[in-house]
Structures are given as structure tokens and as C-alpha cells.
Structure 1
């Protein structure tokens, strides 16, 4: 795999970044947090999608990107003589092959699957092959042998075997616990057998008792079958006897009620006869009552008119008083308004004078200020002219007679005194003019007299205008009030005329004494009238009472006939209470005995049912015991299988690790020979995973820091080579991210020299570091800086530098310190 280019748009802190990768060693250099490692994350995200990115979709997007802007990563790389271009956004992805304009795959999941198949590597295998993580070389050096073994096993993906073994062990423990749980709830089979035998014996006894009770119940039911027809006939006879007696008693009670009602009706009828006679006597006064009532109503109407008349007279008196007051007030206002009639004309005259004075003040003030400004401008101009002349004079005096005139540039020889004298005269004249202008300016310091006088007159007229305006306002208010009074007087006079016309229309003739006399007479007549109404209401029922009395008499005879008929029917029944009770007792005792036997039958059936249920539970428990025994046997077989599988995984993992050591040692030795130009030819991991470096066929007992660095680098490259070879790929790309850790400068330079030696094996070596001095002597340098103002990373590339350019030569044989 060879990287060609990478484009990032709004990815993490990269707003808009493009990187072109070249062959050889490339350093991506920048301070911590500048966005270096984000470039590697973008490469893996383009290939493997979300699982290769840190955080979620929101954290991937540049935090200062506009709301609707897209996150985009475009990676172009070569693989198996074909060029692939992967474009991935947050919600979609596309992949193009060579120069084909149409994408060959267009969904997120399908692209990840396609590239995984093409590379022959999962995400973890890809990282462990091409990437060496931060401080990883130093980490390999600091590990203990057992930790180094676990690390190598992990990156070679042997941990899957370990995980499978842990899963087997977990299943083994679960099944063991499950077997123990089943055995604890298994129960005792001997106790179950004893309980089953006891239940079967109880069932036999209970079944025989049930048969006996069922036979007794059958006999009692036969006896009841013989008694019930006679008992039914006697009960019917008793029901008829009771019904006739009840109806006879009801008829006698009803007959007594009818007789009492007849007596009451006769008494009520006699009372109504007396009241009819009284009504005839009182009706003689009815005509006098109606005449008195009509006369009272006529007088009450006149009384209402009298009340209305008095009310209108009071209103008329109030209106006359209001008219008198309004007319008096109107006369006073007329006198006051006449005295102030000339005020508006006087105000107009004052306003004219005020306008003239305002114009005078404005014009004079403008002229005064303009003259002051003009003099000030002249003073400024003269002062500039004075400075210019003084400067020229000073220059001439400094240069002397040998100098040139600053105006005509001719020599001053012979003219020096004349010229300097002329300049002094000019300076004096200008100074005199300036002084005169200053004096004029001082004389204009105060306002001219015409302005102050006009302003004083204006203030006088303004005060006079305010006084007259106040009087004018009062005058206008009084005019409005006078108009209001005139309108009110017209309204009052119209209302007065209306009231006087209404008074003429009110009828006369009301007599208060006559009304009081008639009311006293009417009170006595009203009592008589009320009694007449009461008697009429009472005597209205006289005819109805007579009808009801006749009907009651007829009903009495009907009830007497019904009573006789019921007495005859009762005698015909020939009913005996003693015979009924004897038969009732016999039936009751027989039913009681049958019910007792029925209860005993139900009880016996319940015992049989209960014993059967217990026996069924025992049989079910026996079956469950046998089923659990079978389950324990099945689980034990499964447990034995897992025990064997656990042993196999342990053996297989040990074999894989044992096979990996020689293979790693072989690959590491090849890299060692190339990196040291044959100085060292063999590097081995012993059975304790300790690094053994051979020198002339013998293990070096102590290795230096430089030798340790090269050994760790060779082991890491060997791991990558093994993973790549197993996936069917050549190892052409190597990416090292902050591998220097805490190495000092000499050891860092040593590692860089080693990497330079690897360029024959790897087309591309990409080194990510924050250390500045590493970038010298490297083929291609990509500088990553974080711009605080823009809030994003800025990426720049610089040209190729060789070791010779910086005063170093490529070593023929690497000398290790």
C-alpha cells in the first residue's frame, strides 16, 4: 500500500487541508495538539469508517464550521498496481478505481467491507501492520519479558485464541455451577417412593367409602320421590287456604273503611247546606262593593295626576332660578370681555417688534463672529509667513556670504548685508501687522453694544408678550363660557315652555277627603267580599260530594257480597293444619338425612380428588427427578468437552507463541542486518521473550542504548512484516507516530539514521513527531501548526533535504553507541 494524497475538510481541527505524499522518509512535524495525529486518524477513518474515529459524529466536525457545512475526507492510495480514491462524509461514502468517473461502491458499510477485503486486514490488523503508536518503541524496551510476550501476542491477533479460551472457561464455570444447582434441588427418590405407596393405599380406602355413601344417597332420593307428590298437593291446598283468608281479611278491612267514609260524606254534605244559605244572604252586598271599588280607582287616577303636577311645579321653580343665575353671570362676562377686546391686536404688534429684534441680533452676531474669524485667520497666515521668512533669514545667516540665496539660488557674496537687512525689515513689518490684528481681535472680544441693546429690548418684549398671552387666554376662556351660558339659557327656556304646556294638560278635580272616606267603607265591604269568595269555593264541591256518597253506598254492597263468597270457598277446601304439619315434618327429616349423606358424598369425592392430586404431584416429582438426572448427565458430558477444549486452547496458544518467536527472530534478524550493513546479523527472542543480540555468533551480555533502540525497531518491523505477510500484502508503508518517547538527542538521531537505511525496504516511511531538530536531513517535511486566530490547523510542505545538505554523509556502516 502506498499513500498518494489526503484531503481534509472540516475534519477535527483541519478546516481545509491537502497533503501530497512522496516516497522516501516524510516527517509530519508540529507541536502537541497542532493536529498531527489527526492526519493518521483521517486515513483510518476514510478506510474503516466510524469504528476508526474517536468520539461521535458531532466531535469529528470542526467546532467552528458553519451549520450546514460538510465533513469530508478524501484519501488516494495505490494497491496492487491500482489506484483507489476514497471519499467519506459523515452520512455517505464513495470509492473510485483508477480513472473511472463513476464510483464502484457508494454506501458506508459496503465501502468498509470492500476495503477490508482488498487490504485483507481488519482495522486492528491494519494499525498493527502500518502504524507504530506513540512511544511504542520505548515501551517495548521498558517491558518485562512476560509483558513483551503478551504485547506481541496481542498485535499478532493471538488474543482471539485467548479470548476464546476465556469464553470456554466462563462456560465451564457456568455449567459447573448449573450442575451444582440442579443437584441441590434434586430431592430424595426414596421419600418420593414412600409417599407414593401411602397415597395409593389412602386412595383405595377413600374410593370404597365413596361407593357406600353414594348407595345411601340413592335410597334417600327414592323415598323423597314417593313423598314429594303428596307434599306438593298439600302445599297447594295450604296456599289456596291462605290466599282466601288473606282476601277475606282485606275485604273486611275495606268494608269498614267504606262505612267510615260514608259517615264522613254525610256530615260534610249537611255542612255545605248551611254554607249555601249564608252565601245567599251575603251576595246582597256585592253590588255596593263593586260601585265603591270603581269610585276609589277613579280618585286614585286623579291622585297620580296631582303628584305629577307637583313634580312639574318643582322643576319649573328650579328652572326659573337657573335662568336668573345664568343671565346674571352672562351680563358680568359681557362687561369683562369688552374691556379686553383690543388684546389680540396688541399681541400682534409685540410679535412684530420681537421678530425685528431677533433678526437684528442674528445679523449683528453673525457679522461680529465672521469678523473675529477673519482676523484670526489673518493672524494665522501672518504667523506662518513670519516663520517662513524667519527660517529663510536664519538659513542665510548660517551660510554666510558664501552661501546661495534660498529663493534665486545665486551666491550672496557682496549682497549678504543687504539681503539680511531686507529680511529683518520684512520680519518687523509682519510682526507689526500681527500686533495690529491682535489688537483688533481683542477689541472684538466682547459683543457689540447694538447686540446687547437689542437682546435687552427683546427680553422686555418677550415678558410683555407672555403677560398679554396670559390675558388673551383668560379672555378666550370667558368668551367660551359666555357662549356656553347662552346655549344653556336657550335650553332652559325651551324646557320651561314644555313644562308649562304639560301643566295645562293635567286634569283637575281630586278630592283627598272623599278618597279616605270611601277607603274606610270599602274595607268593611272587602271582608264581606272575601267571605263570599270563600263560601263559593267551598260550595262548589256540594254536587261532587253527593255523587261520591252514592258511589260509596253502592261499593259497600259489592264488598258485602264478596265477603260472603270468600267465606263459602274457605269451607269447601276442607283444609287440616295438623295433617299439613305432620307431612311437612316427615319431608323435612327425609331431606335433612339426604342432604347429610350428600355432604358426606361430596366430602368423600374431595378426599379422593385430593389424594389423586397428591399422587399426581408425586408422580410429576418422580418424573422431574429422572429428567434432572438426564440433564445432569448431559451437562456433565458438555462440561467434560469444555475441559478438553480448555486444555486444547492452552496448548494451541502456547504452540502459536512458540512458533511466533523463531519467525519474529528471523524477520528481525533480516532487518538488523540491513540496518547495520551486516555489523549484526542475528537477533533472537528466547523462550522468556528476552532480546538476545548476537555479535560474532555469541550473545552480548550487555547491550547499549543505541543497540536497544535498533533491536526494538527491528522487532516492531518484524511484527508488521508478519501481519502483512499473513494478509497476503507486501510491507511497503511504515508510519511511526511519536516513537521517540523520552529518547535523548543522540539516540533520536540514531533512530533517524536507522530509518534512512530502511528506504530500500519501504517505499514510504512517515514519521510523526513534535521534535523540531528531527526534520533536518529528511526527504519531505510536512509542517502542521495550529492557528489560534482561525481556530484551525495549517499544513505546509517543504522540499527535499539530503544528509549532505546539512553536513552529514550517509553511513556505510552504522556505528552504535
Structure 2
């Protein structure tokens, strides 16, 4: 399996980065902060399905600054030679897609769920071992060096064991042993609960015989109550027949009494209405008399009102004439004032225009162009071009001088700036020959000559720019003067038009004065109108009382015939109601003579007693029925409990057998398998790791992965075997051992690809070179370290030792 390339878009510092990889060892190099570790994170995110929050605290920090969405695409080749591409977006909604190459293009392989996508990728990578791809990447294949170092420096043995059991994938047996502890407790607790339940149900079953006897007694009492109910219902039916007959008679008597009461009320109300209607007839008669008496005054009021209305019309005509006179006088005054104002304004403007024309003529004469100034301004483009050419030559000389100085400085340094050691790429045994001083001095002379030329040309350019600016200013001022001359001409034309219009105002002024005199003559026709209006108003006021009396009584007097007819009908209706009352009273007296209320009351009381007895019997029957249902249900429930007791006793025996089985599995199987697998893995990994460690450290120390996954180094001191671990080891020894163990662990679990971030941290120069050769030896088998096991290794390193052993050196950030 081999990763061919990766494309990052809007991922941290990578706005749009594409990298290609080769088989074997790929080393990512570059200054800090350019995104080397981000490339590893991106492969873990897209190819192995690691959550972005395992790399950053907030998923937005996995994106480039300002971006809302990002995407990572990884192209890889399987062992069978097929080429695939997996792409995964960053930012909601997230898409994880798998593409297969077909005919030079990639086609998406459809999956219903994201779990199907992950399972398919695991199958292609040959990592479908029961653990998720993300866990395999984070635990073994791709953890950063400090994260993988973490489990080795855990002080508590139990926690260190749990961490490495998880990495090796054997933690399931230990977890199963711990998990079955609660299972065993649950089984034992279940047996206790079942025994308690059986005891409780046995106590409940003791009342079954008493319940059976009580059920037989209740059934006998139920039959007795049913016979008593039948007898009482028969007596009630006979009594209700007699009671219905008497109640019908009582109902008729009550109905007739109600009818008589209604007639009496109607007769009383009729008498009151007749009295009221008689008063209304009397009121209409009086109103008719007052109408007749006020008729003459009302006619006189109407005549005075008509005369006053005509006079008011003439008053409105006079007011209209007065308004016309006021409007015409105002128009005449306005025209006179306008004529006088226009005459003054026309004279003043003519004088002002003459003064302005003289000033403009003098200003134009003072702005004529100087021939020498025009010549200097015309040469400005030529001078500018000359200055630009000289500055370009000067910039080329400066760049050549800086390049010479930089080359001289680099050749003069013999120490690596990163590791602060003698650089093996430069032989510092003799000082480099000085080939730069003479060339630098020559460039300085050429630059000084160019500076003088640039200075002289710049002075000429400045003088030409001043001349050009002065000419432009004069042209703009002349254009402004031309505009002012045109404006004066326009103002003179408009003043002549005003003089012509002034002559036309004389005729409207005379016409307005004539109309004012004519309307004043018309106003004399309304003399004496106010006196006539006052007389008419006095006469109308004199007859107003008679008019009001006539108007107020006219409607009431007109209702007299209708009121008299209504009063006659009321008398006739009252006589008919009185006759009907006498007839109904006779019928009521006849019916009351043959009716006995005491007999009806006794029958009603007898009925109430029978109904109460029947209700009591029915309730007793219902209660007996419920008691029978309850007892039968209790008996069924008790018999069910009897069956449950038998079933639970069988269940108790089953759980007792399970308890024995769980105890056997815990003590004989689960407890031992985890320790045996751990020992086997540690022995196998220790053998491979020891060979790698010896190559890295170049010592005779033996690396051994001890109990609880403790790093142990063994050597001979004074003929005695010495073992050191934990705090007894130096940082370089610990880091060398961790790298060796991780390489061995990757080979053991069958990973074909791995990632290392700064694996030479805390290592001295010799160990770094040995580690680099160890990586190459693993691949090509030049040294006997271990057999070939991987397809690709990815390393992040600044160490020059890796430039000799890598298959591809990738400069990130260029």
C-alpha cells in the first residue's frame, strides 16, 4: 500500500497545497510554522477518519483564517495495484467520499452510511482488524512523538499497563475480566432476589382455601337478593298505574288555575291601558285647540321669514362687490410698485455690467503665455524617461552588490545554524578565497557615477514640472475668464428683456384703476339694506312664539282619530276577557269537587319507599357481583402465583449453574489470557526493538520491555548484570528506546505505513545519524536490523542526516 499524493485546501496554513510522495522514506522539511505536522493531521483526518478535534480544540482552528469550509483529498494505491482517492470536507456538512480510478478519472463509490465508507477504506488498507481506523492511527500508526512517549513515562504501573494493552489491542480480555465481576455480582444478587420473591409468594398462597369458601357464600346471598328485587318491582308497577291517573287530574286542575291567573292579570293590565289611552285622547283634543288658536301667528312668522331670506341674499351680493373692490385695489397697488422697482433695477445692472467687462479685459491681457516657459514644459516627458532609465540601472547594480555580499557571508560560515555543529556539507579546513571585494568596489564606483547623473536629471525634471504646472494654471484661469465674459453677455440680454417687459405693464395698471371705480358705483345700489334687515328680524321675532306653539302641537292633534279608535277597541277586548274568566272559574270548581290530594300524597310516599328498597337491593346485587369477581380474580391470581413459584424455583437452579460457569471463566480463563498475551507481545517486540536500539545507540546495552511495559536497559558493569529503568535513564536513552519500540510495534501489528514527527528529539548527533541509517536499513536490508515490513515511512525532521537516506525530501512552505 502506498500514499501517492495529498491536496489540502483551506487547512490551517495551507490555502491550496498539493504534495506527491514516493515509496519508501519521505522526509518533510522546512522552517517551523509552515504546516509540516498539518500534513500528517490531514492524512489522519481524511484517510483514517480521525476527528479534527483530536488535533485542535475548536474545529474552526483546523481551517485557514477566514475560511468557512476546507477539503482534504488523499490518493493511494492498494497492494493489488488499484488507485483510489478519499476526500473529506471540513465544516458543516461534512462529507467523506471514496473514489476509484477508472479510465484516468475518479468515480465515487456509493455508500449509504459513513460506517460503510470507513469499513471499505479499512479493507483497502488491510487494517480491518476489529479496531477503528482512527484508533489505529492515534495509538500506533500516526501519533506525534510526544503523544507516543506519554504511556512510557506514566508512573503508575496499572495505568501504564492499561494504556499499552489498548495500543496492542489485548485490553478486551482485561476489560472482560473486570466486566464479568459485575456480571457475577448480578447473578448472585438475582439468586437472592428470586429466593426472597419465592418466600413472599408462598405467604400469599396461604389464603387460597378461605377465598374459595367465601366465594360460595356470596353466590348464595346473590340469588336471595335477586328474588326480593323481583317482588318489589312488581308492586311498584301496580302503584305507578294508580299514581299516573291521579297526577293527570292534578295536572289539569293546576293548568286551569294558571289560565285563570293569566286572565286576571290581563284584565288588570287592560284597565290600566284604557285609562292611559283616555288620557292620550284628552291630550290630543287640547293640542287641536292650541293649533287653531296659533294659526294666524304662524302665518305671519312665515311671511317675515321669507322677506328676511330675500334681504340676506342681497347682503351676500353686497359683500361680493366689496371683496372685488379690495382685490382690484391690491392689484393696482402691486402693479405700481413693480413698475417703479423694475426701473431702478435695470439702471443699476447696466452700470455693474460695464464695470465687470473692463476688469475682465485687463485680466486677460496679464495671462498671456511666456515662450521660454512653454518650451521647458514641453520637454518634461523626455526628462522623466531619462530619469527612469537611470534609476533602473542603479537598481540592477544594487541587486548585484547584495547578491555578492550574501554569497560571501554564506561561504564564510562553517557552522550549521540549526544544530550548532560543524556542517558536514562544507569543508572548513581552509578559509574561502576572497573573490568578492574587487567586484564590490567596481560596482560602488559605477553606482556613484549613476547617482550624479540621476541627481542632475532630477533637478531638470523638477524645473520642467514647475513650468508645466504654471502653464496649466494660466490656461485654467483664461478658461474661467472666458466663462465670466459669456456670463456678462447673458446677463445683459436678460436686462434688455426686463426693459421690454416693463413697457407692457403700463396698460394693465390703467385697466385695474378703471375697474376699481366701476365696482364702487355698483356698491351704491345697496344703500339702506341694513335697516331693512333689522326690521324684518324684529317682526320675525315677534311671531316666533306662535310659530313654536303651532309646530309643537300639530303632530299630537293629528293623532286624535287614531287614539279614539284604539280606546274603543280596548273597551271591547276587556268585556270579552271578563266573560271568559267567569266560564273557566266554573269548570275549575267542578273538577276540584271530585279530587282528593291526600290520596295522591300517600301514593307518592309509597312509591318512594319502594324505589329506595329496590335501589338498595340492586346495589347489594352489584356489590355481591363485584365481590364474586374480586374473589374469582384473587383465586386466579393465587393459582398464578403458585405457578410462578414453581417457575422461579426452576430459574433459581438455572442461575446457580450460571454462577458456577462465570466463576470458572473468570478464574481459569479471563484472568490469565490478558497476562499471557501481554508477555508474548512484549517478548516478540523486545527482540525486534533490541536490534533497532543497538543500531541507534551503538552500545552493548540490551533493550527489554519488562513487566507492566517498563523500559529496561541491561548491561555488564564490573562483571555484574546491571538493569536500569525510568528515572535512571537519560533523555537520549529513553527517546532511542521509544523509537525502537514503536518501530518494532508497527511491524508486529502488520502496519504497512507509519508517521514520525521529529523522531531525533533529545538525541545527540551520533544517535541521530544512527537512527537515520536504521530507518534505511529496515527498508533495504543493508544491515541486519529486522526484515523488511513497511511500504512507506513519513518523517518530519530538520536533521541533515536524513538527506542521505531518504527516498524523497519534500520542502514544505516553498
Relative to structure 1, the CA distance from residue 38 to residue 161 in structure 2 (aligned partners, 3 Å threshold; closer, same or farther) is farther
Q: Which has the higher mean CA deviation after the structures are superposed, 641-650 or 144-153?
A: 144-153
Match of 1:87 in 2: 85
Match of 1:120 in 2: 126
Q: Matches of 1:627 and 1:96 in 2, distance apart?
A: 63
Q: Which has the higher mean CA deviation after the structures are superposed, 606-615 or 296-305?
A: 606-615
Matched, 1:643 2:651: no
Relative to structure 1, the CA distance from residue 131 to residue 524 in structure 2 (aligned partners, 3 Å threshold; closer, same or farther) is closer
Match of 1:307 in 2: 315
Query: What do the CA deviations read for 1:41-79 (whole angstroms, capped 9, x no partner)?
Result: 4555565345699559966976169778853323357x3
Q: Matches of 1:496 and 1:168 in 2, distance apart?
A: 130
Relative to structure 1, the CA distance from residue 519 to residue 616 in structure 2 (aligned partners, 3 Å threshold; closer, same or farther) is same
Match of 1:6 in 2: 5
Matched, 1:722 2:748: yes
Query: 1:213–1:601: 8 Å Cα contact kept in structure 2?
Result: yes
Relative to structure 1, the CA distance from residue 370 to residue 233 in structure 2 (aligned partners, 3 Å threshold; closer, same or farther) is closer
Q: Matches of 1:193 and 1:699 in 2, distance apart?
A: 80
Match of 1:236 in 2: 248
Q: Matches of 1:525 and 1:752 in 2, distance apart?
A: 134
Match of 1:192 in 2: 204
Q: Secondary structure at the match of 2:759?
A: coil
Q: Matches of 1:338 and 1:708 in 2, distance apart?
A: 114
How do 1:58-97 and structure 2 match up within 5 A? 63=64, 71-76=72-77, 79=79, 82-90=80-88, 91=95, 92-96=97-101
Q: Matches of 1:266 and 1:154 in 2, distance apart?
A: 115
Query: What do the CA deviations read for 1:749-793 (whole angstroms, capped 9, x no partner)?
Result: 4444544554314387847354535336535562545xxxxxxx3
Give the drift of 1:192.
1.6
Query: What do the CA deviations read for 1:110-152 (whole angstroms, capped 9, x no partner)?
Result: 6754553355324456787866862699779868888886666
Relative to structure 1, the CA distance from residue 248 to residue 567 in structure 2 (aligned partners, 3 Å threshold; closer, same or farther) is farther
2:763 to 731, 743, 751: 743
Q: Matches of 2:137 and 2:645 in 1, distance apart?
A: 55
Give the drift of 1:511.
7.9
Query: 1:693–1:700: 8 Å Cα contact kept in structure 2?
Result: yes
Match of 1:541 in 2: 563
Relative to structure 1, the CA distance from residue 527 to residue 764 in structure 2 (aligned partners, 3 Å threshold; closer, same or farther) is closer
Query: 2:700–2:715: 8 Å Cα contact kept in structure 1?
Result: yes
Match of 2:358 in 1: 353
Query: 1:179–1:636: 8 Å Cα contact kept in structure 2?
Result: yes
Q: Matches of 1:266 and 1:716 in 2, distance apart?
A: 125
1:652 to 643, 649, 673: 673
Q: Matches of 2:364 and 2:704 in 1, distance apart?
A: 115
Q: Secondary structure at the match of 1:778?
A: coil
Query: 2:143–2:755: 8 Å Cα contact kept in structure 1?
Result: yes
Give the drift of 1:609.
5.5
Match of 2:333 in 1: 326
Query: 1:302–1:510: 8 Å Cα contact kept in structure 2?
Result: no
Q: Matches of 1:225 and 1:342 in 2, distance apart?
A: 132
Query: 1:29–1:781: 8 Å Cα contact kept in structure 2?
Result: no
Give the drift of 1:599.
4.7
Give the drift of 1:665.
5.6
Q: Secondary structure at the match of 2:722?
A: coil
Q: Matches of 1:84 and 1:178 in 2, distance apart?
A: 56
Give the drift of 1:304.
1.6
Relative to structure 1, the CA distance from residue 563 to residue 767 in structure 2 (aligned partners, 3 Å threshold; closer, same or farther) is closer
Relative to structure 1, the CA distance from residue 554 to residue 498 in structure 2 (aligned partners, 3 Å threshold; closer, same or farther) is farther
Query: 1:210–1:604: 8 Å Cα contact kept in structure 2?
Result: yes
Q: Matches of 1:268 and 1:672 in 2, distance apart?
A: 138
Q: Matches of 1:281 and 1:131 in 2, distance apart?
A: 126
Relative to structure 1, the CA distance from residue 740 to residue 493 in structure 2 (aligned partners, 3 Å threshold; closer, same or farther) is same
Between 1 and 2, higher relative CO (CA 8 Å, sep ≥ 6) is seen in 1
Give the drift of 1:649.
1.9
How do 1:49-60 and structure 2 match up within 5 A? 49-50=49-50, 54=54
Query: What do the CA deviations read for 1:545-596 (whole angstroms, capped 9, x no partner)?
Result: 334434543554444444444544555xx22234334444444444444444
Relative to structure 1, the CA distance from residue 503 to residue 612 in structure 2 (aligned partners, 3 Å threshold; closer, same or farther) is farther
Q: How many residues matched? A: 667
Query: 1:140–1:148: 8 Å Cα contact kept in structure 2?
Result: yes
Gaps of 5+ in 2: 89-94, 378-480, 782-786
Gaps of 5+ in 1: 375-457, 725-730, 786-792, 795-817
Give the drift of 1:157.
2.2
Q: Matches of 2:503 and 2:325 in 1, distance apart?
A: 23
Q: Secondary structure at the match of 1:307?
A: helix
Match of 1:580 in 2: 600
Matched, 1:775 2:802: yes
Query: 1:312–1:503: 8 Å Cα contact kept in structure 2?
Result: no
Query: What do the CA deviations read for 1:346-392 (whole angstroms, capped 9, x no partner)?
Result: 334323322332234334xx669969x99xxxxxxxxxxxxxxxxxx
Relative to structure 1, the CA distance from residue 282 to residue 148 in structure 2 (aligned partners, 3 Å threshold; closer, same or farther) is closer
Give the drift of 1:300.
1.8
Superposition RMSD in Å: 5.7
Q: Secondary structure at the match of 1:71?
A: strand
Relative to structure 1, the CA distance from residue 248 to residue 16 in structure 2 (aligned partners, 3 Å threshold; closer, same or farther) is closer
How do 1:597-608 and structure 2 match up within 5 A? 597-602=617-622, 604-605=624-625
Q: Secondary structure at the match of 1:188?
A: helix
Q: Matches of 2:681 and 2:143 in 1, distance apart?
A: 19
Match of 1:48 in 2: 48
Q: Secondary structure at the match of 1:189?
A: helix
Give the drift of 1:510.
4.4
Relative to structure 1, the CA distance from residue 218 to residue 495 in structure 2 (aligned partners, 3 Å threshold; closer, same or farther) is farther
Q: Matches of 2:259 and 2:26 in 1, distance apart?
A: 128
Query: 1:76–1:86: 8 Å Cα contact kept in structure 2?
Result: yes
Q: Secondary structure at the match of 1:72?
A: strand
Query: What do the CA deviations read for 1:674-719 (whole angstroms, capped 9, x no partner)?
Result: 9999x98998767787758699xx9943589899988776655544
Relative to structure 1, the CA distance from residue 88 to residue 151 in structure 2 (aligned partners, 3 Å threshold; closer, same or farther) is same
Q: Matches of 1:289 and 1:180 in 2, distance apart?
A: 123
How do 1:371-770 and structure 2 match up within 5 A? 490=511, 494=515, 497=518, 501=522, 510=532, 513=535, 516-517=538-539, 520=542, 523-524=545-546, 527=549, 534-568=556-590, 570-571=592-593, 574-602=594-622, 604-605=624-625, 634-647=654-667, 648-660=669-681, 663-664=684-685, 700-701=721-722, 716-724=742-750, 736-755=756-775, 757-758=777-778, 759-760=780-781, 761-762=787-788, 766=793, 768-770=795-797
Match of 2:145 in 1: 134
Relative to structure 1, the CA distance from residue 65 to residue 162 in structure 2 (aligned partners, 3 Å threshold; closer, same or farther) is same
Query: 1:135–1:741: 8 Å Cα contact kept in structure 2?
Result: no
Give the drift of 1:650.
1.9
Relative to structure 1, the CA distance from residue 638 to residue 104 in structure 2 (aligned partners, 3 Å threshold; closer, same or farther) is farther
Q: Secondary structure at the match of 2:85?
A: strand
Relative to structure 1, the CA distance from residue 576 to residue 481 in structure 2 (aligned partners, 3 Å threshold; closer, same or farther) is farther
Query: 2:803–2:809: 8 Å Cα contact kept in structure 1?
Result: no
Query: 1:316–1:499: 8 Å Cα contact kept in structure 2?
Result: no
Q: Matches of 1:138 and 1:266 in 2, distance apart?
A: 121
Matched, 1:216 2:221: no
Relative to structure 1, the CA distance from residue 118 to residue 586 in structure 2 (aligned partners, 3 Å threshold; closer, same or farther) is closer
Query: What do the CA deviations read for 1:7-36 (whole angstroms, capped 9, x no partner)?
Result: 43435545434344365x664445555444
Query: 2:205–2:641: 8 Å Cα contact kept in structure 1?
Result: no
Q: Matches of 2:76 and 2:277 in 1, distance apart?
A: 127
Match of 1:408 in 2: none
1:106 to 109, 129, 135: 109
TM-score (norm 1): 0.63
Q: Which has the higher mean CA deviation after the structures are superposed, 640-649 or 621-630?
A: 621-630
TM-score (norm 2): 0.63
